[in-house]
Structure 1
Amino acid sequence: MSRKREHGFGIDIGGSGIKGAPVDLTSGKLAADRIRIPTPQPSTPEAVAGTVAEILDAFDWKGSFGCTFPAVVQHGITRTAANVDASWVDCDAGSVLRKVTGRDALLVNDADAAGVAEVEFGAAGAASGVVLLATLGTGIGTAVISHGHLVPNTELGHLEIDGHDAESRAADSAREREDLSWEEWGGRLTRYFQHVENLLWPDLIVVGGGVSKKFDKWSPYVSTRTPMVPAKLLNEAGIIGAALLAHD
């Protein structure tokens, strides 16, 4: 995808912290050190939007911006809420962000933003066809990009496999909770990814989340027909993807 050398701005909203920075949309790198502010408690839409405005003001950013959120996002409306206040459910959050910040805002699911960033600037840069990003953390977040186009809000971490919600067995939190060895956890990931493969037939699987930094420890125990690689952009992926989607 060709574009002029421009800057965008990305915000990444999480249950414990909100971080943001300007992004160089040619290189896919942060154009300045990011700022992180603890998520306000209670984390209502208005309170969170106020923190977002604080980050934008800190960089004197006047233009539009992209913003990730840990939820299903349909046309600016947050349909779910993970690790944030329940008042986000069915909230017109895009409008709240625009009203409080005074800037145009694009709200997007956090895994979707990370997936777009990895395809454009990260581990999936040379991939063609269908790319699946799966973030392995407290839960399993997913993003599906088909021939460069995002298919939003794929909640594939919640597939029912063997009578269980998939992420309750295969997320990194399950590994820690049950004190699983890398090999034991790899077996569960194999079951999960092979199931997803049979539904999507992806050309590449990119694994994100903090545990992706330990890819060499557990990946030998995961068997898939699809090539699997660790994410490259890590904690900056959401910011970069949000800025890119808002710009486009």
Structure 2
Amino acid sequence: MLKSVPAPVIGVDLGGTAIKLGCFQPDGTLVAERQVPTPQPSTPEAVVAAMAAAIADLDPQHHVKTIGVGTPGPADAQGRIARVAINLAGWQDVPLADWLESQTQRSVIIANDANCAGLGEAWLGSGRSFQDLILLTLGTGVGGAIILKGELFVGRDGTAAELGLITLNPDGPACNSGNQGSLEQYGSIQAIERRTGMEPALLGARAQAGDPEAIAFWQAYGRDLAAGIASLVYVLTPEAVIIGGGISASAPFFLPALEAELQRRVLPSSRQGLQLRVAELGNRAGMVGAAKLALVHQGLG
């Protein structure tokens, strides 16, 4: 009797400007990929139609049976409903999985895009040798993901691991979440621009050129980041903390200060063997993680 070959899956990373899709074998081999513009205005109906068309183009022979989708906002714990989608028009409790299943005739599971990025790094990126890890994405906001015993932790309602919204300074700048002084208000692109008047890329270039003020800023940034990460380490005692997002390009300038501050703030018993890593997958992490989400849903992850 011939042994059946496990079916490939598709991972979809839904962003405000682009939709990235990849078809993966269960061993992580990328078979094919596409990128299409996110419709403008990005209403749920228009986005689902664009995703369905791109999926049909990527897998015209219908070899894929399961699709994973990362959305820019929280999903419900069952992976069916996009509760809110940041930077997309008119998204509120959208039954995205149901709609996409109806248009593609394939099984669909969805999750927050930062959670997908964490899954991606844990599967094929810098977290692949760890079972317990935290991913922080440092970009327009500060997102995150928690992987425990190799599985994504989303909490009872699917909205856990909003790591950027933990309180760093109770008297700090107001946050869109309603919090004040959140980690996001010290670690995001907007926070850096507010504090320095410069974009992170320029600050990184200046530090590379030896500018003492830029170097001093990144050292302070690393210490601030460590203060937030210290709280997470005490609660979760992960094997690794992975730093991703666009700001991670300047990691060489802030990781040494971050590591030193973690050693100062966290008891050795809570950080034994803790590794600090920079994410490896770049802007493919969400797509890769969405494929891993599909594999788990398919019973192959």
Does the alignment reach a TM-score above 0.5? yes
Aligned mates of 1:173, 1:89 — CA distance in 2: 25
| Structure 1 residue 30, shift from structure 2 partner | 2.2
Corresponding residue number in structure 2 for 1:233: 281
Corresponding residue number in structure 1 for 2:186: 169
| Structure 1 residue 52, shift from structure 2 partner | 0.6
Corresponding residue number in structure 2 for 1:192: 228
Distance 1:57 1:177, change over 3 A: farther
Q: Is the 8 A contact 1:18 1:52 kept in 2?
A: yes
Q: 2:75 aligns with which of 67, 70, 73?
A: 73
**Identity level (%):** 32
How do residues 134-173 of structure 1 correspond to structure 2 at under 5 angstroms? 134-152=136-154, 153=159, 154-163=161-170, 164-173=181-190
How do residues 99-114 of structure 1 correspond to structure 2 at under 5 angstroms? 99-114=102-117
Corresponding residue number in structure 1 for 2:36: 37
| Structure 1 residue 6, shift from structure 2 partner | 4.9
| Per-residue CA distance 1:137-182 (angstroms, 9 max, x = gap) | 1111111111111102311211122121221222233223432732
| Structure 1 residue 79, shift from structure 2 partner | 2.0
Aligned mates of 1:29, 1:70 — CA distance in 2: 25
| Structure 1 residue 203, shift from structure 2 partner | 1.9
Q: 2:195 aligns with which of 157, 169, 178?
A: 178
Aligned mates of 2:9, 2:106 — CA distance in 1: 13
| Structure 1 residue 91, shift from structure 2 partner | 1.9
| Per-residue CA distance 1:79-115 (angstroms, 9 max, x = gap) | 2221112x32222221122223332211111111111
* Structure 1, unpaired ranges of 5+: none
* Structure 2, unpaired ranges of 5+: 171-180, 199-216, 264-273, 297-301
Aligned mates of 1:161, 1:12 — CA distance in 2: 30
Q: Is the 8 A contact 2:10 2:66 kept in 1?
A: yes
Structure number with the higher strand fraction is 1
Corresponding residue number in structure 1 for 2:211: none
Aligned mates of 1:13, 1:50 — CA distance in 2: 13
Q: Which amino acid aligns with 1:88?
A: W
Q: Return structure 1 stretches of 4+ with deviation > 6 angstroms.
A: none
Aligned mates of 1:70, 1:97 — CA distance in 2: 16
How do residues 116-135 of structure 1 correspond to structure 2 at under 5 angstroms? 116-128=119-131, 130-135=132-137
Q: Is the 8 A contact 1:46 1:100 kept in 2?
A: no
Q: The residue matched to 1:207 in structure 2 has which SS?
A: strand
Q: Is the 8 A contact 2:10 2:291 kept in 1?
A: yes
Q: Which amino acid aligns with 2:75?
A: V
| Structure 1 residue 5, shift from structure 2 partner | 6.2
Normalising by the residue count of structure 1, what TM-score does the alignment of the two structures yield? 0.89
Aligned mates of 2:188, 2:239 — CA distance in 1: 22
Q: Which amino acid aligns with 1:176?
A: E
Aligned mates of 2:6, 2:100 — CA distance in 1: 27
Q: 1:217 aligns with which of 236, 245, 253?
A: 253
Bigger CA drift: 215-224 or 68-77?
Answer: 215-224
| Structure 1 residue 29, shift from structure 2 partner | 4.0
| Structure 1 residue 60, shift from structure 2 partner | 2.7
Q: The residue matched to 2:93 in structure 1 has which SS?
A: coil
Q: The residue matched to 2:291 in structure 1 has which SS?
A: helix
Q: The residue matched to 1:79 in structure 2 has which SS?
A: strand
Computing the radius of gyration over CA atoms, which structure comes out larger, 1 or 2? 2
Q: Is the 8 A contact 1:29 1:240 kept in 2?
A: no
